Amino acid sequence: MIKNDLFLRALSNQPVERPPVWMMRQAGRYLPEFRDIRDKYDFFTRCETPELAAEITMQPIRIIKPDAAILFSDILVVPRAMGIYVELKDNLGPIIPNPIRSLEDVNKTIIPDVNQTLGYVFEAIKITKEMLNNEVPLIGFAGSPWTILCYVVEGKGSKTFDTAKGFCFSNPIAAHTLLQKITDTTILYLKGKIKAGCDVIQVFDSWGGMLSPVDYQEFSWRYINQIIEAIADDTKVIVFAKGCWFALPAMSNSKAAALGIDWTCSAENARYLTGGQITLQGNFDPSRLLSPIPKIKKMVHQMINEFGTDNYIVNLGHGILPNIPVDNAKAFIDAVKEYNP
Q: According to the annotation, is 206 in a ligand binding site?
A: yes
Q: Is 318 annotated as a binding residue?
A: yes
**Beta carbons of 242 and 205 less than 8 angstroms apart:** yes
Instruction: For residue 28, say whether it is annotated as part of any ligand binding site.
Output: yes
Q: Which of 185, 201, 180 is nearest to 73 (CA)?
A: 201
Q: In this structure, are residues 96 and 86 in contact, taking their beta carbons and an 8 Å threshold?
A: yes
**Residue 74 assigned as binding residue:** yes
Q: What are phi and psi of 33, to 5 degrees?
A: -65, -35
Active site residues: 25, 29, 38, 74, 151
Around Cβ 103, how many Cβ atoms within 10 Å? 14
88 DSSP assignment: E
Residue 26 labelled as part of a binding site: yes
For Cα atoms 200, 206, 207, give the angle at the middle one, nearest 5 degrees: 145
How far is the C-alpha of 203 from the C-alpha of 224, rounded, in Å?
8
Distances (CA, A) of 273 to 225, 250, 261, 281, 316: 18, 9, 11, 14, 19
273, amino acid identity = L
Give yes or no for a contact between 113 and 172, defined as CB atoms under 8 angstroms apart.
Answer: no
25 is in an annotated binding site: yes
Ramachandran category for residue 157: left, alpha or beta (phi over 0 → left; psi -120 to 50 → alpha): beta
Taking the CB of residue 310, how many other CB atoms lie within 10 A of it? 12
Q: How far apart are CA 179 and CA 220, in angstroms?
A: 9
Which DSSP symbol is given to 48?
H
Binding-site residues: 25-29, 44, 74, 151, 206, 318
Binding-site residues for substrate: 25-29, 44, 74, 151, 206, 318
